[in-house]
A and B are shown apart, each in its own frame.
Chain A
Amino acid sequence: MAPPKLELAAEDGARAPSPEDIANASLALSEITVSYGEKPAVFSVDAALPRESMVAIIGPNGAGKSTLLKAALGIVPRLSGSVRIFGQELERARDRVAYVPQRASVDWDFPTRVIDVVLMGFYRELGLLRFLRKGHRERARACLERVGMADFAERQIGQLSGGQQQRVFLARALAQDAELYLLDEPFAGVDAATEKAIIDVLHTLKTARKTVVCVHHDLATVADYFDHVLLINVRKVAEGPTSTTFTAKNLQATYGGRLASTHIDQLKLSS
């Protein structure tokens, strides 16, 4: 009896981006490998994410989604691979990128107020010596306004709910006025009102021709929120427009047995 034919998980996952792809991409990753100890968390991931789009990075728990984002920004060291942002080296493109970390990554009892957190978005342009001016405060307030948190400007951050914390982090990223926004699980554990507020802001960013990349965990909203997906599970499984790449077959390849087929049936998938 002939052995069962091995099938590649996804054809579009196998192709590495060309130099033109990298130059045209907002965020281009080439053969990124990150390892904690001697077990790779991310292995040789290539991606060329399009400009002016909403991109979701999708995969199961422990698939290395957050790690990939951190490696792209140099927050965790890469074992191999390179990063290009709008065709530039990472260090040259720092001002064009805004990062929204997971809100659980910081101590919310830190002595700082909501407005101070947003003002942190200006620290890089201020450098070491220049003082914060009234204009900065006004800009920070405007950013809080955009996420619906203007009334909370003077609050200590420890008094915020989870959803409010997430909005404050988003406001800090908005203060940077960047071109590429990288968000780590922005919708994790937030209430429906916050989710709506955040997605509205992200859509206005896209309208303003910015690029938004989210590590995302809720498969049910992928098709509604995002126009491009990157599926990873330590390795890249597939990448492409949501309309062609967010398929049952690719999801099965990404999640393996962890995703019940009944669950897949309920998703708005492309065929």
Chain B
Amino acid sequence: MPDAILSALLLQAGYNAALVAIGSALLGIAAGAGGTFLFLRKRALVSDAVAHATLPGIGLAFILMVALGGDGRNLVGLLAGSAVSAAVGLLLVDWIVRHTRLAEDVAIGSVLSVFFGLGVVVLTVIQSMSSGRQAGLEGFLLGSTAGMLRQDALVIAVGGALALAVLVLLRRPMTLVAFDPGYAAARGVRVQAVDLAMMALVLAVTVIGLKVVGLILIVAMLIIPPVTARLWSERTDSVVLIAGALGGLAGYLGAAVSASAPNLPTGPIIVLVSFALFCISLLFAPSRGVLAAAIRHRRFQRRVHRRQGLLALARNEPILDPLTLKVLRRDGLIRPDKVATDAGRARAAKALRDERRWDVARQMHQDEGVSGGYDGLTAIETVLTPDEIAAIDARIGTPALADKGVV
């Protein structure tokens, strides 16, 4: 099996497997990048309604092509049909949100289910037609790459490239609308048109991806890579780039894995690979990852305990908390018998003096800029200038502190 995956990765597993791998990678790039703005606009689920709304169009296009005496399975014809009905579904969601009191989630849910139901009915009708038995339209539900042709890969490549070109062209208006639609409108950006362009982009990706992953799972390729990319970056343009890269990687790896053994479905495997990348990122991403957050929390907790312990030392209070004792001992601030070391006494005195300084600072500066800086942990030197601290020390009066042996 590893050999089989390796040969598929190196595009050595036969002509069809190589086509599928390249096609899936291209689709993954277009879907990941194209889905990012929808995700940032917090409208990711609209893509699910769009995807499900393709089904009646596929069926009706088939019937129409057969009725006109042609081959009902012509891919371009089927995709054109799916695009039309997906566009109708999309405009319907938009219309419901704009002109009724229904919220977007309701609009998505109803359009998704009604169009999908209609599609299933049309497919059933086709099953009963004499020419419909071998239509193989069910393949559009979950994708079917077994009989993928060069033409199919070409459709994905051209469609994906066009989608990416639109993305590059509209990146600034889409960024503005996703971040701050009010400001965008004030600058003369037509927010509704940009929103529709975002959707149209997703619609195009959905249509070209029908053959590979199918309409039920395409939404995963539009949503998972942007969400994953967001874990790695704090900049819009790099989130788009990383999402495209992750989508392409998932498409390529998924196709290779599914080619390594007979009867492994391509679309679902791509989605699972994408999910695996997400899990890895969720754990290990810097700053937004779960592990990084846990480490930060632990460090913060130790800082709090160290500070509390130092203040207790300075005030000659007993320290009972085991974690506080552990932290102080490990930092060499107390001896094993809980008595402060020289370093511990010095740090404790400084901690207590800073507390006093903060007390005075809060009386002198009433504004949030200073008082907001006081959280019990922030070093006063990072908020106030040496001159200000000297002024505070003058007000505290050194003798009083000296009496207590603090200075």
Contacts and interface: CB of A to CB of B under 8 A. Distances in A.
Contacts of B127: none
B188 interface: yes
Given A123-B176, A191-B368, A75 B182 contact: yes
Nearest to B101: A37
Given A126-B172, A128-B172, A111 B369 contact: no
B176 A105 contact: no
A260 interface: no
A101 B180 contact: yes
A128 B169 contact: yes
B133 interface: no
Contacts of B369: 163, 191-194
B395 interface: no
Tell me if A's interface is mostly helix, strand, loop or mixed: mixed
Interface stretch (B80-88, B116-124, B230-238, B349-357): B230-238
A156 interface: yes
Interface stretch (A50-58, A91-99, A133-141, A202-210): A91-99
A74 B184 CA distance: 11
B320 interface: no
Interface stretch (A22-30, A112-120, A242-250): A112-120
A116 B178 CA distance: 14
Q: In the complex, which range does the number of interface residues on chain B fall in?
A: 20 to 34
A221 interface: no
Interface string B360-387: 0000001111001000000000000000
B235 A112 contact: yes
Interface in A78-136: 91, 94, 97, 99, 101, 105-107, 110-113, 116-117, 120, 123-124, 126, 128-129
B236 A111 contact: yes
Contacts of A111: 40, 230, 233-236, 239
Contact of A161 (B172, B173, B372): B372
Interface in B282-312: none
A70 interface: yes
A239 to B, nearest CB: 23
B244 to A, nearest CB: 15
A110 B42 CA distance: 11
Contacts of A91: 188
Nearest to B366: A192
9 contacts: A70-B182, A107-B42, A110-B40, A111-B40, A111-B239, A113-B234, A156-B234, A163-B368, A182-B186
